[in-house]
A and B are shown apart, each in its own frame.
Chain A
Amino acid sequence: MIFVDEYRDRELVHSLSRQIHAESRRAIALMEVCGSHTMAIGRFGIRSLLPDHIRLISGPGCPVCVTEIGYIDHACAIAAEPDVIITTFGDLIRVPGSLSSLERERARGADIRVVQSSLDALHIARDNPDRKVVFLGIGFETTAPTTAAAIAQAARDGVSNIFVLSAHKVMKPAMMALVTGGVSLDGYICPGHVSIVTGAAMYKEIVAECGVGCVISGFEPADILLAILMLVRQAERGEHAVEIAYKRAVTWDGSRPAQRLMDDVFVPRDAVWRGLGTIPASGLGLATEYNRFDAEGAFTVDLPVAKEPAGCRCGEVLKGRCEPADCPLFGAPCTPENPVGACMVSSEGTCAAHYRYHNE
């Protein structure tokens, strides 16, 4: 299969691995920001191809994992309101809230539908003019433009029964907050899909202010190893720079139309990241022109006091402060089929990836 097989070529992969072994002297810590990278690293066994002194840390780039527990509570509360249809990505269904989960609310009779895009939610709103359709907007610069597109479309077409409960976030402030907050890193393996939208230029500020390398990677084994090799070379030279190891997809400027849509529909606001706390200007709320679509304003619901599960160390896992196996809940009772923390629920969560691929 083109665009896949050539990047999984055994000889290419092993030659990259050999170059990394040959050139890497210093012990370094690299963070893969994106959940898809975490999964690919596990699925292909990338760690077994690296020298022991290169440490890969999983970062906060799984949309479900960084969604605060209060957001799940909010969604569950809205789901219980009359005439509401909740539309959501499937991964969110099983995330435990303080008291319930969307999966449990659905079993109790709430109308909760899994969709694959915000545009599906718009279709459902059109088909059910007497119901209020709430789309649970989560994710970074990859999904935020699609939510923006659906809302802009709804505004143009006069659809008034669709709402967004936005937990959309942007990557750069979190990446900066991690380093300034004391997580010790030599470089970021930067998210490929986010960068297609934002462009590589976004990372210049991170390099300049935080003194870490930023290399954008694709999702195949050769892509990831190439990004690691470029970060190794930066570290050996004592330099930090923005580089693209995913040139078949990522440009310096990114996608202008997607950026315009986001800028139009959303405004930056402070956001709570599960495990990381509040990060200024890292979230996306609806702009004034579109605030009639904001589920936060459209529904008045009572929310329980958000309660993190006792013992759960998702927060530290997300900061790379501990490995999933260091958490007392990992493996028992917290498993993918019975998740306690968000990192175990999402298929791209750090704990789920470790459970699936590292558990010996």
Chain B
Amino acid sequence: MSERVVLDHGSGGRRSRDLVRSVFRSRLSNAALDAETDAAVVALALDASPAGDVSNAADVRIAMTTDAHVVKPLRFPGGDIGRLAVCGTVNDLAVSGAEPRYLTASFIIEEGFPIADLESIVDSMADAATEAGIRVVAGDTKVVGRGECDGLFITTSGVGIVGPGREGIAGASRVAAGDVILVNGPIGDHGATIACVRNGIDTDPPLASDCAPLSGLIQQLYNSGITPHFMRDATRGGLATVLCELADMRSIQIQIREESIPVRDTVRGVCEIYGFDPLYLANEGTMICVVDQADASVAIQAMQAHPLGQSAVIVGEVLESGSARAVMRTAIGGRRVLRMLAGEQLPRIC
């Protein structure tokens, strides 16, 4: 039987990566694409090589990325598809070491979609763009027949300027043994919120998505004199998948401590009910940040001074040696090897 795309190819885990590699990378291959970073960092100068090779560039380096957003429901506590579409692209640029500058947005709208809903979604895009200090400079709309899309899909693309000394962040080229790993806040809020909304579960206190632009928080780090060695927002696949990707990219061993990882009690409760692991829940405004050990306390202070980093904390470190993997010291003293998300997390059967 001929192979077809299945839903799991979009889970953000290993199967997504396999699809990207086998279908897309193999046919569109170039240095920037092959780096498999959240945003491509390329040179934009007259004498830059056609491949966008950064090392040959005389001056301007930009980061460029695109992200399609399909979320059910379109509106959820803490955000909506509009806010998500702005933040997702802004964050991919920002964690790649870029100052996000311009966005484009294209909308695929299902016939019959209420204009008032569209207005409110675009209003929240405008708010998120203001928060992120970015402008939406071009766009496109397509309307498809009823049933040909699920309400509204939004794709955003963005560019940003990569400042001097920051071109290695996306590729994690400066990550080294002894570096410490920080997160800016509690993990799993977005994934837990969406699971609860979809299944009609109310929590006390109520949950909200962490959906937010990280550019301001990251600017705060630069302002304090820190150049992180690596940053990545822990979206689909969660914290564990990002750590596995980093371990893989640089062939290093990463160790985190379960007790240090911030998880809200409500999110833990939702995870207990469904049998989810918070390490694999999606986030939309939570990132890991790897810094030199000597910079750790300054980085924590800088993050904590920003509203999105108030509970910033060190969760682990890059070890001196060991094979390429991410491991976790469990709260009861055991040791657990982390793996990339394989398939969506499913609610327990019993």
Give A contacts to B, CB under 8 Å: 1, 4, 8, 10, 13-14, 36, 42-46, 48-49, 63-64, 89-91, 94, 99-100, 103-104, 106-108, 114, 116, 138-140, 142-143, 193-194, 221, 335-338, 347-348, 355-360
Contact = CB atoms under 8 A, between A and B. Distances in A.
B350 A337 contact: no
Interface residues of B, number: 35
A45 B334 contact: yes
A55 to B, nearest CB: 18
Interface stretch (B2-10, B61-69, B143-151, B304-312): B2-10
Contact of B18 (A13, A116, A337): A337
Contacts of A44: 330, 332, 334
A5 B6 CA distance: 38
A359 to B, nearest CB: 6
Nearest to B4: A107
Interface string B338-350: 0100111111111
B350 A90 contact: no
20 contacts: A8-B331, A14-B333, A43-B336, A45-B335, A48-B335, A89-B349, A103-B6, A107-B6, A116-B347, A194-B350, A335-B342, A337-B13, A337-B14, A337-B15, A338-B15, A347-B275, A347-B346, A348-B348, A348-B349, A358-B337
Interface in B3-42: 4-8, 13-15, 18
Interface of B: 1, 4-8, 13-15, 18, 199, 265, 268-269, 272, 275, 277, 330-337, 339, 342-350
A63 B350 contact: yes
Given A44-B332, A49-B332, A94-B8, 17 more contacts: A1-B269, A1-B272, A13-B333, A36-B348, A36-B350, A45-B336, A48-B334, A48-B335, A100-B1, A103-B8, A104-B6, A107-B4, A140-B350, A337-B342, A337-B343, A347-B275, A347-B348
Contacts of B275: 36, 347
B333 A116 contact: no
B252 to A, nearest CB: 16
Contacts, number: 104
A357 B336 contact: yes
A65 to B, nearest CB: 11
A140 B199 CA distance: 24
Contacts of B7: 103, 106-107
Nearest to A358: B337
